[in-house]
Each structure stands twice: as structure tokens, then as C-alpha cells.
Amino acid sequence: MSALIPVSQALDALFALITPLDPEDVPLRNAAGRVLARDAVARRDQPPFAASAMDGYALRGDEAQPGAQFEVVGGSAAGHGWTGRLGPGQAVRIFTGAPVPEGADRVVIQEDVTVYEGRITLLDSLGSGDNIRPAGGDFAVGDRMAAPRRLGPADVALAASMNLPELCVARQPEVAIIATGDELVLPGETPSPDQIIASNSFGLAAMFEAEGALVRMLPVARDTPEALTAVLELARGADMIVTIGGASVGDHDHVGSVMDALGMERAFYKIAMRPGKPLMCGRLGDAVMVGLPGNPVSSMVCGTLFVVPALRAMQGLPAAPVPTLTGQLAVATGRNGPREHYMRATLAVQGGTFRLTPENRQDSSLMTVLAGADCLVVRPPHAPAAPAGSEVPFIPLVPLAG
Ligand SMILES: Nc1nc2c(c(=O)[nH]1)N[C@H]1C(S)=C(S)[C@@H](COP(=O)(O)OP(=O)(O)OC[C@H]3O[C@@H](n4cnc5c(N)ncnc54)[C@H](O)[C@@H]3O)O[C@H]1N2
Ligand code: MOO
């Protein structure tokens, strides 16, 4: 039997199969979640003029003394600036977001003045700031939002304020998912006594879509080479083909042999990882092929560690493993075997430190355990027993804030 290859080496071999997808222009409304492929360049300054940060009165800062009086000579509102020039002893009524008139260099908030017959008198306790946002203080024409970058809501708002109605983003990877096995029926169908519900494909589809993929969910392939070959036909044109199950050594595990028969260039098969040993990757025509193990937790953990980084790289993001953080074991854990172990664990924050509790049951069939886990604690091959308090790397599975 060939040696199991380390996880990092397998991931590099997968990255080597990937060609970044072409960019395309999309309307700003469709840009959230996509990966910016070309820098977004500001078409204007923001704010385009010195703008008031508060509701109040614009005046000359050197005249702003407690008790000083000013004649109110005009008004400047957002969208309707005052076009005159402020003279000595004059003030302009101004509102948040409005252009500060020429000659004024301070806004005194309305809470700090009294108003009487078109004149204002400043009170004793004037705030110290000038309450003015300088022109171009946020960004200037030509400033850039750099690619590559996964566009979040704030990025979309920034691009809008740069006056960019479209953004150039990476095309979404099309991923064909094929579950294999005679035992599988879809959720809602009536299984025979020896059948189960296909669950992995649904979890993986959600995972890939969260990474920007367009998922083509293909029919379940029954356990014959002919059935798998027929379903693979339906995957034509996909950027990535992900099979689930049938990856191991049993009489009904056909994925490897069918892929070989179809001419897949195999990058690797079987890795030193737990769960997920029988992972397979290669290239079939223009598509990257990932053969995930069938055990539900194995398929989801391999999806997290391999498919997610691959989808990111396809969209032009750096080819990098999913990031790890460091935490402390809340309980002791035993020594590890020859495969890197990704232990399902819960997480608590104590005194600013992540405290990690691996679940007692780590069998790769237990979806209740994975769904209840917050993170994967990473135990390298042959790691010695680790007492409570040991620092260990972990991969978050849930957002750590909120
Ligand atoms: N003699 C050996 N047996 C096994 C080995 C081995 O090295 N020698 N490896 C084990 C490991 S590790 C894993 S992981 C599994 C993976 O096997 P397959 O990829 O061939 O997966 P299947 O046999 O098709 O299925 C395993 C398990 O998962 C269920 N399954 C499959 N697809 C789905 C799906 N879409 N949704 C829900 N559940 C699914 C399937 O019913 C089985 O229970 O092999 C070990 N065996
Ligand atoms: O690696 Mo298998 O994924 O141990 O169950």
C-alpha cells in the first residue's frame, strides 16, 4: 500500500491543479460575497467638499469665544450648500453633511448657542473640535480598494461611494456534487430498511455556496461503474467535480477506478488525516476532481480543509490553508496516531483565552457531534499526550464574534 501523504503536501498538490477563473463585471448589487479581481479605483473624493459633522452654526474659529455674537446670514443643508462667503461676525446655519461655506473653519453645535432674532450667542462651554470633515478625508480620486478581496457589505458600500456601479470580480466556480451509494435516498423520500438519507451533499453544497460557488447537485450515482460514469457525464463544464463516498477499498467503491478509466490525472489518493484518509484529487479534462470519503464527518472536514481553500484559490485569493488560531486544551488528551487528527471540540473564552474541549466521541459518522462542535483541534501525527492547559492549534467552524 502506498504511504499516506501529509495534509499540507496534499493541499499543495491540490493547489497545483488550480487555474484562477476569469474575471467578469457585475452590478454592485450582485457583488457582495464575490472576490474582487481588479482594484476598485475611486472616481471622486469623499467627502467631495469640507462637510459639517454636526447640526449647528458655521463660523470663523478665531471668533469662537464664549459670549461672542454672530449674525446668521444664510443656511447650508445637505444637498443645498450656501454659496456666499462668510464675513467677520457672521455665521451660517448648517446641518450634518452640508458643505461648510467659504470663510468658515468651525461648526459650533446648536446645543452650545442661544438664538434670538437672527443672531446667535455662544455659550460658555464650547466643545473643542471644529466638527468639520475635510474634503477627501475618507478617500480621494484614484484611491484603491485592492484586489483580491472577498467583498463584504462595507466593501460594497465603499465601492458605491467611490461611484462605481459595477465591479470586476472572479467568475463563480461551478461545482458538481455527486453522492454515490445504493444506500442513499434524498431527504423527504421513503428509504427501504437498509437505506439512509443522503446528507453530505446538502452540507457540502451549503459550505461551497458560502465560499461563492455555484453548485450543481447531480443525481445520486448507484454503486456501479456504469451509473457513476453516466452521472459524471452530467458534470461536464463544471470547474470542479466533487464525489462523495465510494473512495475506499471495498468491492462497491468505484470512484478511483472510474476516474482512472475516464483518464483522470491523479494528484494523490489517501492522506495521513483523521477523519478523511481516503481523499482523492486529480484533474479530469478542465475540471479539478475531489473524491471525498463517504463518512459524513470525514466529507465535511475534508471539504473544510481542502475544497474551501481550493475554491478560494480558484477565485484569485491566496492559495493558503484555512487559518488556525491557538487555544488551550481544557482537558487532557491522549497521544495521537500516525494521522493528523482534526478533533471535533467545543470552545469557550475564559480570561481572553480560547479553552477547547474535544468531544469524547470522535467517530467519523457522528453528525450530531460535528454540528455541536465549534472548532477542530489539530493534533499533528504522533503528537504526544497533551495535559490540560497545553497550547494547541484549532480551526474555528463558527464565527467567533456575535
Ligand atoms: N477495509 C477498509 N475499510 C475502510 C477503510 C480502510 O482503509 N480499509 N477506510 C475507512 C475510512 S477511514 C473511511 S472515511 C471510509 C470511507 O469510505 P468511502 O469513501 O468508500 O465511503 P462509503 O463506503 O461509500 O461510505 C462510508 C459511510 O458514509 C455513508 N455515506 C456515504 N455517502 C453519504 C452521503 N452522501 N450522505 C450520508 N452518508 C453517506 C455511507 O452510507 C457509509 O456509512 O471507509 C472506511 N472503510
Ligand atoms: O478517515 Mo475515515 O474518514 O477515519 O472515517
What's 187's domain CATH number?
3.40.980.10
Which pLDDT score is estimated for 402?
Answer: 56
Give the HSE-up count for residue 24: Cα atoms under 13 Å, Cβ half-sphere.
Answer: 11
Which pLDDT score is estimated for 285?
Answer: 94
Give yes or no for residue 188 having a pLDDT over 70.
yes
Which pLDDT score is estimated for 238?
Answer: 98
CB of residue 7 inside a 6 A radius of ligand 1: no
CB of residue 184 inside a 6 A radius of ligand 1: yes
Residue 275 CA, ligand 1 centroid: distance in Å? 11
Three-class secondary structure assignment of 226-289:
HHHHHHHHCCCCCCEEEEECCCCCCCCCCHHHHHHHCCCEEEEECECEECCCCCEEEEECCEEE
Q: Where does 97-186 show beta strands of DSSP type E? A: 106-109, 113-116, 119-122, 132-133, 144-145, 149-150, 166-170, 174-179, 184-185
CB of residue 274 inside a 6 A radius of ligand 2: yes
Query: Are residues 281 and 151 part of one domain?
Result: no
Q: What whole-number distance in Å separates Cα of residue 248 and Cα of residue 184?
A: 17
* Cβ atoms of 204 and 274 closer than 8 Å: no
Query: Are residues 250 and 163 part of one domain?
Result: no
CB of residue 243 inside a 6 A radius of ligand 1: no
Q: Is residue 205 part of a domain?
A: yes
Which CATH number belongs to the domain containing residue 108 in this structure? 2.170.190.11
Q: Are strands 69-76 and 90-94 parallel, antiparallel or unpaired?
A: parallel
Query: Are residues 166 and 27 part of one domain?
Result: yes
Residue 267 CA, ligand 2 centroid: distance in Å? 20
CB of residue 275 inside a 6 A radius of ligand 2: yes
Q: What whole-number distance in Å separates Cα of residue 247 and Cα of residue 225?
A: 13
Out of 78-92, 245-259, 312-326, 356-370, which region has the weakest mean confidence (pLDDT)? 245-259
Work out the mean pLDDT of the chain and round it to a whole number.
96
Last residue of a domain, one of 314, 344, 364: 314
Give yes or no for residue 2 having a pLDDT over 80.
no
Give yes or no for residue 306 having a pLDDT over 70.
yes
Query: Are residues 205 and 106 part of one domain?
Result: no
Residues pairing with 377 in the sheet: 343, 394
Reported confidence tier of residue 316, pLDDT bands at 50, 70, 90: very high
Query: Are residues 232 and 101 part of one domain?
Result: no
Q: What whole-number distance in Å separates Cα of residue 195 and Cα of residue 181?
A: 10
Which CATH number belongs to the domain containing residue 338 in this structure? 2.40.340.10
Which pLDDT score is estimated for 305?
Answer: 98
**pTM for this model (two decimals):** 0.94
Residue 270 CA, ligand 2 centroid: distance in Å? 10
Q: Is residue 263 part of a domain?
A: yes
Query: Are residues 201 and 92 part of one domain?
Result: no
Using CA atoms in the order 155, 158, 160, 163, what is the torsion angle rounded to 10 degrees? -130
Reported confidence tier of residue 3, pLDDT bands at 50, 70, 90: confident
CB of residue 293 inside a 6 A radius of ligand 2: yes
Ligand minimally distant from the alpha carbon of residue 248: 1
Rounded to the nearest 5 percent, the helix, strand and coil shares of the chain are: 20, 35, 45
Q: Is residue 106 part of a domain?
A: yes
pLDDT in tens, 248-300: 888 888 899 999 999 999 999 999 999 999 999 999 999 999 999 999 999 99
Q: Is residue 2 part of a domain?
A: no
Helix count and strand count (H, E) for the chain: 8, 28
Number of domains in the chain: 4
Query: Are residues 231 and 126 part of one domain?
Result: no
Residue 243 CA, ligand 2 centroid: distance in Å? 16
Q: Is residue 402 part of a domain?
A: no
CB of residue 201 inside a 6 A radius of ligand 2: no
Residue 396 CA, ligand 1 centroid: distance in Å? 25
pLDDT in tens, 133-172: 999 999 999 999 999 999 999 999 999 999 999 999 999 9
Closest CA to 181 of 236, 255, 121: 255
**Residue 67 burial class via C-beta count within 10 angstroms: exposed 0-12, middle 13-18, buried 19 and up:** exposed
pLDDT in tens, 80-138: 999 999 999 999 999 999 999 999 999 999 999 999 999 999 999 888 899 999 999 99
Query: Are residues 40 and 89 part of one domain?
Result: no
CB of residue 298 inside a 6 A radius of ligand 2: yes
Residue 191 CA, ligand 2 centroid: distance in Å? 25
Which pLDDT score is estimated for 126?
Answer: 87
* Mean pLDDT, rounded, for 351-355: 95
- State the residue range of the domain holding 126: 51-133
* Mean pLDDT, rounded, for 346-351: 96
For 56, the enclosing helix (H) or strand (E) is strand 56-59
